[in-house]
Amino acid sequence: MKTNKTLSAILIGFLSITAISCNKDSALTDLSLSTQNEVFVTGSQAVSITGLQENSVILYAGQSINVGAISFTEIDTDNNNVKDALKATYTLTNGWELSDVALWIGSSLSTLPANKAGNPVVGHFPFKAGSLSGSTEYSITIPFSYLNYVPGDVPVNYYVAAHATVRKLNGATYQSETAWGSGLRIVQKGNWATYFSITLTKDVVKEPEVSITETAFAYSPSLSSTFESITGDNERWGWSNGPLSNGIYNFTLYAGAGNNDITKGKAVGVVTVNYNGSIAVVSFNLNYPYKLKEAHLYAGNETLPVNKQGKYVTAPGQYPYTTSELNSSSQTFNVTGLSGQIYIVAHATVSGF
């Protein structure tokens, strides 16, 4: 196991948001991530947060209107596989649109731009954008260098004040409102602006397991013919199955049976063919713990698929029905336009060895 000292944000790593109600008398509810919630992740998979289902807080307009959310994630801005910035995304719903946005983030509330009464001065927020009328989504990129953030073992807390001016068309006119990310009031009297906090910490990454794959073909002791017996050469092992009339047939899927020797192979599942004379439904079903990574299928009147030169084809990548990037225990193909007796060749790339 290794420790990847990069920012962790929900959907990518560990981003902990302290969610706070926007009610005047609400108390701070600490929902930050504890060590008991540490999760091992691979790559950029999502990690859940205590008390929160998403990496976001509600964006309230006029103190009580839910107009959307502001969410956070980590990003790699220079494509060197190192996360180096925090992205804050405003997303509006229910017909609301953005007019402008402004965001402040800092390690102390004392650095929040404010007037003598303590009310925030949005025009002095470091991250802002205007002339957004009609937009329902806008993102702000906050470099780690701006935050002086260096991922490490100790979580780092930041305060966020996320402001927006939003509008919604009601009849022939727009309703305009001020919106803030849900949180505690910055001042108890006057401006109802709110703030919340986020906690950044490193993610813990487990080295991905190396999975060995094997090639597999469907086989029946009474219906299978080797590729070699059909083509006259032994460049590839595997079987064609048929002829098949109307009916249901089950074939054993053998992996690693080089030279067509099933005693050297492993039975990893079953291929079922349900043929009604015009349609063949062919299903791959693997035994635990094996998984399909690819599946390839031929079904037709010829013993094997034939290329444009009229020669038999045995390479699975050239079969007419293919699917890849799988990680499942089953796959089904529906082959139409068939007639008479048919042959099938069913190939799979299988992991779990």
Task: Tell me the whole-structure pTM to 2 decimals.
Answer: 0.48
What is the structure's pLDDT at 155?
Answer: 79
What is the structure's pLDDT at 210?
Answer: 58
Query: Over the stretch 93-143, which tens digit does the pLDDT of each residue have?
Result: 999 999 999 999 999 999 999 999 999 999 999 999 999 988 999 999 999
Judging by beta carbons within 10 Å of its beta carbon (0-12, 13-18, 19+), is residue 158 exposed, middle or buried? middle
What is the structure's pLDDT at 202?
Answer: 67
Q: Spell out where 221-286 has E strands.
A: 224-226, 239-244, 247-255, 266-275, 280-286
Q: Spell out where 76-125 has E strands.
A: 85-92, 96-106
Instruction: Name the residue among 223, 156, 180 with its Cα closest to residue 69.
Output: 180
Instruction: Name the residue among 215, 220, 221, 212 with its Cα closest to residue 237.
Output: 215
What separation in angstroms does the CA of 102 have from each of 120, 312, 343? 11, 65, 65
Average pLDDT for consecutive 10-residue bins of the chain (353 residues)?
37 38 30 27 26 68 92 87 88 94 95 94 96 91 92 82 95 94 88 88 56 92 96 91 96 95 94 96 93 96 93 93 91 96 97 89
What is the structure's pLDDT at 24?
Answer: 31
Query: Over the stretch 297-306, which tens digit does the pLDDT of each residue have?
Result: 999 999 999 9
Find all residues with CB under 8 Å of 344, minimum gap 6, and list them.
218, 240, 241, 242, 244, 273, 280, 282, 297, 298, 299
What separation in angstroms does the CA of 50 have from each of 10, 29, 153, 213, 253? 11, 12, 19, 37, 44
What is the structure's pLDDT at 150?
Answer: 82
Instruction: Name the residue among 251, 230, 228, 276 with its Cα closest to residue 344.
Output: 251
Q: Count CA atoms closer than 13 A to 347's CA, side-chain side.
A: 26
What is the structure's pLDDT at 215?
Answer: 96
What is the structure's pLDDT at 46?
Answer: 23
